[in-house]
Amino acid sequence: MAVELKDLTKADENYSQWYNDLVVKSGLAENSAVRGCMVIKPYGYAIWEKMHEVLDGMFKETGHQNAYFPLFIPKSFFSKEAHHVEGFAKECAVVTHYRLKNDPEGKGIVVDPDAKLEEELIVRPTSETIIWNTYRNWINSYRDLPILCNQWANVVRWEMRTRLFLRTAEFLWQEGHTAHETREEAIEEATRMINVYKKFAEEWMCLPVIVGHKSPNERFAGAEDTLTIEALMQDGKALQSGTSHFLGQNFAKAFDVKFANREGKLEYVWATSWGVSTRLMGALIMAHSDNNGLVIPPKLAPVQVVLIPIYKGEEQLAAARERLNAIADGMRAAGLRVKIDDRDNVRAGFKFAEYELKGVPVRLALGQRDLENGTIELVRRDTLEKETVPQEGIVERVTGLMDEIQHNIFRKALEYRDSMITKVDTWDEFVDVLENKGGFISAHWDGTVETEVAIKEATKATIRCIPLDAEEEEGKCVFTGKPSHRRVLFARSY
């Protein structure tokens, strides 16, 4: 299908439409026939797959194993943890029947009223309840601890307003669920995993993030503490990119999971859970892309280098192909992910635009003069800089460029992010920065839920996090003037 670049909305004209255009036209994903559910297309899935692979490796290095728990959760499970029910059991897909039958009136198929479930099943919005119900049978003594499980799965939350990758009714994610002997060990685990997410976001996605605690109002339903990584998008809005929860003994109590400790006494188990989802795809796209299309960090790019022949007629094509094949072989041997595009039904200019749209980090074009001169044209996607370079040493040069581009994309995002953290000490400033600049606002807050809610109602800004590295600093709440001991980060967010 033809890529119609002319239809790509400009980011500064309509950021939201630019994002949607990018996702659809670059072939990452599209809406499906089912409201709120997306189709992740091969190009998008290839990036997610790479994320999955890298994260999975990081989980295993930190001692975790994968397992798989049921898609369905009995309705009654949601009532067992008091806070969890408020946060999770509401907007969700409910299975009430288990059979269809031919319509007696001959109009297709209908739900068989005789096949009604005794207890409705909920399509998991998250799996704490079913997993802690299972852990009860796995845990007897401290010797059975810790349990360090992760699950890669689909989950469903019946969101009213959906956006590809950022907020969809069904999405893919991983959810880690761990069980521990002590409070300290569980807190250590929750901290370890938010740092794994930070490392992944920064080193693989080129996404600088701030690690911090959620305020009580923004905490996960059922958690004692929620750690988050918060990223900044190019429109100045924040995006929560991953969370790690210290669940205390809440789920152990709700599902009666006790263990005999080292003194032989029965005690409730301590828990964490942590997850990232296909939402990371949204963060990746929004953080780096431009009006020409996606900018994919080399480490996650399904195609890192595309090679395109410029030619007239079969003979020139054959010569260019031969040279490009040799170059591609060398690059593959060096571990680069390479594609040659020698389609003869579209012009080279069309291909250039297409790979810019798809965010391929490096493009090489080989014309007849290059063949004669032993040169090749090289264009970096991140800077769009073009230069003609010798074919000799091209593998080393491009390999080096991968690192350079990876660092450059991160550096650019970091500079932008840092320029968008504004210290504010008065309410007028707060409103002014929010309206005219955006980004994170570092301000004092009196620590109450009432103030947080009032600020949200007044401005749509929420506390994104209380940064882990927030320094003690006496000040006055930007909204109430009451005393505060440290600054927190506010922002409007996705």
Q: Does 98 bind its own copies (CB under 8 A)?
A: yes
Q: Does 333 bind its own copies (CB under 8 A)?
A: no
Q: Could you say which residues in the range 165-194 bind its own copies, by CB under 8 A?
A: 170, 172
CA pair distance 211, 243, nearest whole angstrom: 10
Pick the stretch among 150-158, 291-299, 331-339, 425-433 that binds its own copies (CB under 8 A).
150-158
Of 363, 393, 390, nearest to 378 by C-alpha is: 363
Chain length of the chain = 494
Answer yes or no: are the C-beta atoms of 482 and 476 closer than 8 Å.
yes
Backbone angles phi, psi at 65, to 5 degrees: -125, 150
Please return the burial class of 457, using the count of CB atoms within 10 Å of its CB with bins 0-12, 13-18 and 19+: exposed
Q: Among 101, 347, 369, 482, which residue interacts with its own copies (rule: CB under 8 A)? A: 101
Nearest approach, Cβ of residue 254 and its own copies (Å): 13
Tell me if residue 73 falls in helix, strand or coil: strand
| H/E element, 88 | helix 82-88
Q: Among 15, 54, 58, 72, which residue interacts with its own copies (rule: CB under 8 A)? A: 72
Strands 375-380 and 362-366, how do they pair?
A: antiparallel
Q: Among 14, 16, 17, 65, which residue interacts with its own copies (rule: CB under 8 A)? A: 65
Please return the burial class of 410, using the count of CB atoms within 10 Å of its CB with bins 0-12, 13-18 and 19+: buried
Pick the stretch among 91-99, 282-290, 310-318, 428-436 that binds its own copies (CB under 8 A).
91-99
Q: Does 68 bind its own copies (CB under 8 A)?
A: yes
Structure tokens at 425: 């000490």
Q: Among 34, 318, 453, 458, which residue interacts with its own copies (rule: CB under 8 A)? A: 34
Question: How many positions of this chain bind its own copies (CB under 8 A)?
Answer: 67
Nearest approach, Cβ of residue 383 and its own copies (Å): 29
Which is closer to its own copies, CB of 154 or CB of 448? 154
Q: Among 85, 317, 468, 470, which residue interacts with its own copies (rule: CB under 8 A)? A: 85
Strand partners, 375: 390
Q: Does 332 bind its own copies (CB under 8 A)?
A: no
Q: Where do we find the tokens 């280098």?
A: 305
Structure tokens at 146: 């810790």
Nearest approach, Cβ of residue 27 and its own copies (Å): 10
Q: Does 104 bind its own copies (CB under 8 A)?
A: no
Which is closer to its own copies, CB of 172 or CB of 441? 172
CA pair distance 308, 339, nearest whole angstrom: 9
Q: Does 95 bind its own copies (CB under 8 A)?
A: yes
Q: Does 434 bind its own copies (CB under 8 A)?
A: no
Omega prior to 216 cis, within 30 of 0: no
Q: Among 113, 333, 345, 385, which residue interacts with its own copies (rule: CB under 8 A)? A: 345
Tell me the CA distances in angstroms from 195 to 58, 159, 464, one per residue in order: 11, 29, 17
Q: Does 55 bind its own copies (CB under 8 A)?
A: no
Which is closer to its own copies, CB of 56 or CB of 404? 56
> What amino acid is encoded at 68 in this protein?
Y
| H/E element, 379 | strand 375-380
Nearest approach, Cβ of residue 165 and its own copies (Å): 12
Q: Among 5, 9, 41, 83, which residue interacts with its own copies (rule: CB under 8 A)? A: 41
Q: Among 11, 89, 201, 420, which residue interacts with its own copies (rule: CB under 8 A)? A: 89
Q: Taking the CA atoms of the chain, what radius of gyration do you get in angstroms?
A: 26
In this structure, how many other beta carbons lie within 10 angstroms of the beta carbon of residue 185? 16
CA pair distance 456, 453, nearest whole angstrom: 5
Q: Does 325 bind its own copies (CB under 8 A)?
A: no
Please return the burial class of 195, using the count of CB atoms within 10 Å of its CB with bins 0-12, 13-18 and 19+: middle
Which is closer to its own copies, CB of 209 or CB of 254? 254
Q: Among 54, 87, 158, 317, which residue interacts with its own copies (rule: CB under 8 A)? A: 158
Which is closer to its own copies, CB of 107 or CB of 265? 107
Answer yes or no: are the C-beta atoms of 348 and 289 closer than 8 Å.
no
Q: Could you say which residues in the range 110-149 bind its own copies, by CB under 8 A?
A: 111, 120-123, 130, 133-134, 137-138, 140, 143-144, 149
Chain residues in the site for its own copies (CB under 8 A): 1, 30, 32-34, 37-42, 45-46, 48-49, 65-79, 85, 89-101, 108-109, 111, 120-123, 130, 133-134, 137-138, 140, 143-144, 149, 153-154, 156, 158, 170, 172, 345
